[in-house]
C-alpha cells in the first residue's frame, strides 16, 4: 500500500492500520481468493441494524439471462406511505463485490434520508463481460419501477446511485433509462465513479501507484469487462459513460471523487460536461482523499463531510 504525500493525515493514520485485499496487481487467477477474502471481511463486520429492515428478492433478469437478486432496505416501522427510493449499484472494479458489502453504507441513506434502497447483485466480469453487468442493473431498475407500489416506493422519486465501478454502472443505467424511454428518474448519485476505459487522463498516469486502486488495477478491471475492446472504438457509452456524446436530458446529478485517485480527472470532466449539457450538477473534489476513503475510514473529518454532502443532496433531490 503506497501513501501519497498529500494524503489526509487522519486517513493516513487509519489506513495504515487496515488489512485490505490487495487490488494493485490483479490477475484473473487472483479473483477467487480475493472475492473470498472480501466476502469474509464483510461477514466478519456484519451487524444487524434494528433501524433498517432488509429483504432479498429474485426478479427477472435481462431476456435470456438468469434472474437478478435485489436487496431491499427500508426504515424499520416505516409508515405505509410510499417512500422515495435510491436504486444502488455496488462497487468492486467490475470483478468483485455484492450488495452486502454496502449494507452499512446504504443503511445510512435509509436512516438519515428516510428512503428505501434497492441494491442490485449484478453479474461480475470477467466471467460475465459487458453487457451482462449493465443489463442486469437496468433490468433490476425496470422491475423496481414497475413494482414500486408493491414495494412501498414512490415511482416518481427514484434515484440511481453507485460507488466506484457501481458509480460507472449507475451512470450507464441512467443513460439507458433515458435512451430506452424510462423509467423517469429523479436524480443520479455517483460516488467516485469508474467512467472511462481509455486510460488516458493525467490522473491515470499520476497514480501508477495509489493507496487503494492504481492504474494497473484499473486497466485490469476494464479489461475484465471489455476484453480486447478496452480502449478501442467499439465500446458502448453504457459500459463506459465517459464515451457518451450527449449528456443532455439526464436527471439532476451529484458526483464526488478524491484528489488522489485514478478516477479524479474523468469525474471532473464528466461533471463539467453534465453542466454544459444543461444538467443541474453538484461536484465535490476532496483534498487529500484516496479512492473509497469514506468506505474504508468513515469516522474521520473528510469522510464525515463527504457523507453529509451526499445525504443533503439526496434529501434535496427527493423534495423536488
**pLDDT tens by residue, the chain, 320 residues:** 457 889 999 999 988 766 555 556 778 898 998 899 888 888 877 778 999 999 999 999 999 999 999 999 999 986 667 999 999 999 999 999 999 999 999 999 999 999 999 999 999 999 999 999 999 999 999 999 999 999 999 999 999 999 999 999 999 999 999 999 999 999 999 999 999 999 999 999 999 888 889 999 999 999 999 999 999 999 999 999 999 999 999 999 999 999 999 999 999 999 999 999 999 999 999 999 999 999 889 999 999 999 999 999 999 999 97
Output the pLDDT for position 76: 94
Q: Calculate the CA 7 to chain-centre distance.
A: 23
Three-state DSSP string of 129-158: CCCHHHHHHHHHHHHHHHCHHHHCEEEEEE
Residue 176 parent element (H or E): helix 165-179
d(CA 253, CA 43) in angstroms, rounded, equals 33
pLDDT at 24: 60
**DSSP category for residue 122:** P
Question: pLDDT value at position 128?
Answer: 98
User: What per-residue confidence (pLDDT) applies to 44?
Assistant: 76
pLDDT at 42: 81
pTM of the predicted model, to two decimals? Answer: 0.95
Q: In degrees, to the nearest 5, what angle opens at C-alpha 61 toward C-alphas 156 and 120?
A: 60
pLDDT of residue 210: 85
Amino acid at each position: 500500500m503506497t501513501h501519497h504525500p498529500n494524503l489526509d493525515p487522519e486517513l493516513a493514520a487509519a489506513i495504515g492500520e487496515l488489512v485490505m485485499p490487495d487490488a494493485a496487481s490483479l490477475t484473473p487467477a487472483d479473483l477467487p481468493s480475493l472475492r473470498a477474502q472480501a466476502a469474509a471481511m464483510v461477514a466478519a463486520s456484519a451487524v444487524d441494524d434494528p433501524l433498517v429492515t432488509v429483504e432479498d428478492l429474485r426478479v427477472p433478469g435481462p431476456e435470456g439471462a438468469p434472474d437478478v437478486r435485489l436487496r431491499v432496505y427500508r426504515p424499520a416501522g416505516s409508515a405505509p406511505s410510499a417512500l422515495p427510493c435510491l436504486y444502488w449499484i455496488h462497487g468492486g472494479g467490475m470483478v468483485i463485490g455484492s450488495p452486502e458489502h454496502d449494507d452499512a453504507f446504504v443503511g445510512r441513506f435509509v436512516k438519515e434520508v428516510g428512503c428505501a434502497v434497492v441494491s442490485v447483485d449484478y453479474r461480475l466480469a470477467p466471467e460475465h463481460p459487458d453487457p451482462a453487468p449493465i443489463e442486469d442493473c437496468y433490468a433490476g431498475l425496470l422491475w423496481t419501477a414497475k413494482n414500486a407500489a408493491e414495494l412501498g416506493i414512490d415511482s416518481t422519486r427514484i434515484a440511481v446511485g453507485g460507488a466506484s465501478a457501481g458509480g460507472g454502472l449507475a451512470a450507464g443505467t441512467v443513460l439507458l433509462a433515458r435512451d430506452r424511454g424510462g423509467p423517469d428518474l429523479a436524480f443520479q448519485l455517483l460516488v467516485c465513479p469508474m467512467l472511462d476505459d481509455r486510460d488516458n487522463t493525467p490522473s491515470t498516469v499520476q497514480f501508477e501507484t495509489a493507496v487503494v486502486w492504481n492504474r494497473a488495477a484499473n486497466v485490469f478491471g476494464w479489461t475484465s469487462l471489455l476484453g480486447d475492446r478496452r480502449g478501442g472504438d467499439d465500446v458502448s457509452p453504457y459500459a463506459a459513460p465517459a464515451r457518451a456524446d450527449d449528456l443532455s436530458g439526464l436527471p439532476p446529478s451529484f458526483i464526488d471523487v478524491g484528489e488522489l485517485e485514478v478516477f479524479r480527472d474523468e469525474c471532473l470532466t464528466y461533471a463539467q460536461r453534465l453542466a454544459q449539457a444543461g444538467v443541474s450538477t453538484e461536484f465535490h473534489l476532496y483534498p487529500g482523499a484516496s479512492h473509497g476513503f469514506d468506505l474504508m475510514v468513515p469516522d474521520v473529518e473528510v469522510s464525515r463531510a463527504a457523507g453529509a454532502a451526499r445525504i443533503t443532496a439526496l434529501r434535496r433531490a427527493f423534495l423536488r
